Amino acid sequence: MKFRFDQTLTKEDMRQLSLRHIYEHFGYVHYKMNKFEEYDLYAENKDFLAGDKIITFTDTNGRLLALKPDVTLSIVKNYIDVPGEVKKVYYSENIYRTSRNTRTYKEIMQTGLECIGDLDVYQTAEVLMLAAASLEALGESRYILDVSHMGLIRGFLQELELRPKHEEMFLSLLRKKNVHGIRTLFDSIGTGDELRETAIALASTYGSPESVIEVLRESSLNDTMDEALDELETICRILEAQGADGVHLDFSLVNDMSYYNGVMFRGYIEGIPSGVLSGGRYDELLDKMGKRRSEKSGAIGFAINMDLINGCAEDQEEYDVDVLLLYGKAAESEDFDPEDLADRVNTLIEEGYSVQAQKNPPERLKYRKLMEYLPGGVLK
């Protein structure tokens, strides 16, 4: 019995194979994990998670376990920092989170990768190259990869010296690109003109790396901001040289600074209104989990919400099966030969068709072609 698997793979299967092909060519190794972890792992790092609702249950030995809402935490938990080495893994796992719309729990297929260890600017750029390549493969070349850098935000906050509540307000306004709100906030706390203009530049400047970096160079206030811009410029030159032409800089991308410290990025593909890919550098998580033995050690990665892509209305499979083969009449005859029916089904499969043999047509089954296996072995 021979099968042509390339003819039976769904679009979802082809996407996963395409991403796996990309990651393995860059030396990333497949990472497999359990469906659940000890609850404490997530409880201690709730700020790192996309939501605070976690499905828990008690194991037979009394331990409180949780269905995994995140993969990165599990990878970091099992990571051993070896100076001078870099661990590169990719995964395709189901995670369990609360739906923002229905507030019910849902299972989400997530594919992504993590690069942990002695990171340098090349390793960082490689992860962004793989993010761009993933979006290109999933979106058939039409994609946008928005990139930011937490170092630029950190450097600016050093100059602002805001109270915690004002800092939180500013970051919220920055995420929303609310220039008017930033002006109002800075007026109320008496911030100077130079800081005000830099904040507005961060919130409103968006576009190609070359144009954005040029603008922000003029607004840089200290070495921290300069270093972030230098790293961004190097990374963007590498991306451009490797053909990643959908990259834009957007400094409204801001995550929790108790975890994230370097580049941040979010990816979009045509036809889906929300981001399908998100990632960034999270060295602070290594510190918090006691996994950092060297100052050079860092971590960066990204995750793709495959359910958003696979669930796109325009992307639904047109047919469930190529051939619906009905044999009800033949089965009722005295000379019905199930062995001959099996041969006919396998012949169609070897010719590259997917076949569902049924006595009667199933409800809601979508098929390209209807065939009948009639008494006497006649196929029409």
For 66-77, how does the pLDDT look when each residue is reduced to its tens digit (9 = 90+)?
A: 888 889 999 999
- Residue 313 reports pLDDT greater than 50: no
Q: What is the pLDDT of residue 175?
A: 94
Please give the Cα distance from 376 to 359 (Å, whole number): 16
DSSP conformational letter for 221: -
Scanning 161-269, the segments in alpha helix (DSSP H) are: 164-175, 179-189, 193-204, 209-219, 223-241
- Residue 189 reports pLDDT greater than 50: yes
pLDDT digits (tens, 9 = 90+) for 236-266: 999 999 999 899 999 999 988 888 899 999 9
Give me 66's structure tokens.
Answer: 């949780």
Q: What is the pLDDT of residue 102?
A: 58
Which among 39, 29, 12, 51 has a CA at the least distance from the CA of 114? 29
Q: Name the least confident of 113-127, 152-166, 353-367.
A: 353-367
- Output 199 or 2, whichever has higher pLDDT: 199
Query: Which residues, in sequence order, are bridge partners of residue 373?
Result: 379
| Cα→Cα distances 70→20, 79, 130, 198, 306, Å | 20, 15, 20, 35, 14
Please spell the DSSP secondary structure of 155-167, one letter per residue. Answer: HHHHHH---HHHH
Whether 103 and 213 have beta carbons less than 8 Å apart is answered as no
Whether 254 and 282 have beta carbons less than 8 Å apart is answered as no
281-297 average pLDDT score: 89
Q: What is the pLDDT of residue 142?
A: 85
Would you give the distance in Å from CA 132 to the centre of its chain?
11
Q: What is the pLDDT of residue 51?
A: 64
Rg over alpha carbons for the chain, rounded to the nearest Å, is 26
Average pLDDT over the chain reads 88
Q: What is the pLDDT of residue 99?
A: 65
pLDDT digits (tens, 9 = 90+) for 51-65: 667 888 888 888 898
Q: What is the pLDDT of residue 2?
A: 56
Please give the Cα distance from 163 to 368 (Å, whole number): 65
pLDDT above 90 coverage of the chain, percent: 54
- Residue 328 reports pLDDT greater than 80: yes
Please give the Cα distance from 28 to 201 (Å, whole number): 38
Please give the Cα distance from 351 to 139 (Å, whole number): 30
Whether 107 and 77 have beta carbons less than 8 Å apart is answered as no
Structure-token match 């009722």, residue found: 332
Residue 312 — very low, low, confident or very high, per pLDDT cuts 50/70/90? low
pLDDT digits (tens, 9 = 90+) for 98-113: 766 656 778 889 999 9
| Cα→Cα distances 373→324, 327, 379, Å | 10, 5, 5
Q: Which helix (H) or strand (E) holds 320?
A: none
170-185 average pLDDT score: 94
Please give the Cα distance from 147 to 135 (Å, whole number): 14
